[in-house]
Amino acid sequence: MPSTTPTAVSAPGKVFLAGGYLVLDREYTALVFGLSARINVVAREIKTSPGVQLSEIVVDSPQFQEAQWRYGYHLAPDEGGIKVTQLQSGGNIDSNPFVEVTLSYALSYIAGTAFRRSSHTFDPAQFTILADNDYYSQPHSLTGTGENPTRFAKFPTTLRGANKTGLGSSAALVTSLTAALLTHYLPQSDFNLDTPQGKRTLHNLAQAAHCAAQGKVGSGFDIAAAVYGSCRYRRFSPSVLKSIPEAGAPGFAPALTKLIGGETWDTDIVKEGVSVPPGTALRMCDVDCGSQTVSMVKKVLQWRESNPADSKKLWDELQSRNVRLGTILSEGKLDEIRPAVTEIRELIRAMGTQSDVPIEPESQTKLLDALMEVEGVYNGVVPGAGGYDAVALLMKDDEATEKRVKDFTAKWSQENGGQVRLLDVKGEMEGVRRENIKEYDGWIL
């Protein structure tokens, strides 16, 4: 039976401190940190009048304009699982592939689990998505609306028109929506988010759905961070997902059930020894510009294929330096952070030069070098695939350092054009979790 009381879960965004590009190869690992900025999903049943039957799931994102998606669903033939169909409501249908694919995957898995006990139907339910402000550039205030101006801003745009800051919103959304669906529709005996088995089920299901939604098998580090929080990550073999037909296609349901519960996942996720020293914070600066991550990754991989010996030598050395940084952070060796990060950045720039990809562009080099001169800042990197849209800083976790960095970024923006701002978000260890429903007063009725 689905839960009759509202439930809420959240999953963190991520910052890729070390291991960009290397994470694509199972030979190497990545150092990924969860972030305090979370995507939250509140699940609740839709009350109907006596005698009225609905077969509908509603997903809404009330921070944005025209952000409600309504879905019907039916059991596909030939063990195709649950097929989801977006319903027309009002004018044009604006699809959301991450929501739609997540629903198909999660509902198919839930139906497969429930059918082992008895026949199962999905009572109508509503899932409300709320994103912490730092996921989007320049949040707009909710002044005077009475809705909660502090944590969740109201944006004068559609979701598609919002400018993201690159914290991993799609992975956090897929993870939190999957967790909300499993928690809402399954009893705790079949799914418990607080157990290792529950997290493993969620991780495998969210990875499969996220890869399907984005149309490719990614490295999966962002889903791992959303489920487990900060960790050292080694990717799963892409072949793990080869056996899965499209959602709704013949055989999808048993193949999915087997995949989620099976032993084929060779992901390596280690939380032990991943931390930042006490009194130190991992912080993000939004550089409101943006990069084409996909084309950058493609060019780096082409360079690697064309230069196997040189690229392997560089990647092996970069892996060694990344591992050393992780050790320095976990052991709290503050005076070694700056030179360790500097050595990583040198190789990142070398890889960018050799592949002709702006992984740490000159403008970001100037910004990071200048930030290092701010008292209390140890060093920083252009995280993940690199480019122009963000920098991550390791800095003292105190108000005086925060003020100095904010003053610096304001002056830098004024003198150099564009906009650089320190986000409120910080690195944190915890992954997906259940939340108190009272956190969302004013947003759900």
161 vs 173 pLDDT, higher one: 173
Same domain, 55 and 97: yes
Domain-embedded: residue 219: yes
Same domain, 253 and 329: no
Contacts 24+ apart (CB under 8 A), 137-146: 137/163, 137/164, 137/165, 137/286, 137/288, 137/419, 138/163, 138/288, 138/419, 146/442
pLDDT tens, residue by residue, 174-233: 999 999 999 999 999 999 999 999 999 999 999 999 999 999 999 999 999 999 999 999
Q: Which residues pair with 71 in a beta bridge?
A: 57, 86
For 63, half-sphere exposure in the C-beta direction (CA atoms, 13 angstrom radius) is 27
Same domain, 173 and 262: yes
Domain of 192, CATH number, reads 3.30.230.10
Rounded distance between C-alpha atoms, residue 225 and residue 247, angstroms: 25
Task: Give the domain range for residue 126.
Answer: 7-272+433-440
Same domain, 263 and 116: yes
Of 14, 16, 42, 15, whose CA–CA distance to 439 is shortest?
Answer: 42
Question: Quick check: helix, strand or coil at residue 278?
Answer: coil
Same domain, 251 and 370: no
Residue percentage of the chain with pLDDT more than 90: 75
- Mean predicted confidence (pLDDT) in 266-277: 95
Sign, CA dihedral 60-62-63-68, equals positive
Of 120, 125, 124, whose CA–CA distance to 1 is shortest?
Answer: 120
Domain of 383, CATH number, reads 3.30.70.890
Domain-embedded: residue 127: yes
Domain-embedded: residue 2: no
pLDDT tens, residue by residue, 337-351: 999 999 999 999 999
Domain-embedded: residue 152: yes
Residue percentage of the chain with pLDDT more than 70: 91
Structure tokens at 286: 């939004």
Of 289, 276, 120, 101, whose CA–CA distance to 205 is shortest?
Answer: 101
pLDDT value for 43:
96
pLDDT value for 157:
87
pLDDT value for 142:
41
* Number of domains present in the structure of the chain: 2
Domain-embedded: residue 445: no
C-alpha dist (Å) from residue 240 to 15, 54, 437 = 25, 37, 36
pLDDT value for 200:
97
Question: Quick check: helix, strand or coil at residue 89?
Answer: coil
Query: 267, 232 in Cβ contact below 8 A?
Result: no
The predicted model scores a pTM of: 0.93
- Mean predicted confidence (pLDDT) in 39-48: 90
Same domain, 394 and 373: yes
Q: For 358-379, give the secondary structure using H, E and C.
A: CCCCHHHHHHHHHHCCCCCEEE
pLDDT value for 113:
81
Domain-embedded: residue 323: yes
Domain-embedded: residue 132: yes
Query: 137, 112 in Cβ contact below 8 A?
Result: no
Structure tokens at 267: 């992901």
Structure tokens at 221: 């580090």
Query: 402, 423 in Cβ contact below 8 A?
Result: no
Same domain, 30 and 124: yes
Same domain, 287 and 343: yes
Same domain, 263 and 356: no
Same domain, 11 and 29: yes
Same domain, 246 and 137: yes
Domain-embedded: residue 225: yes
Same domain, 205 and 349: no
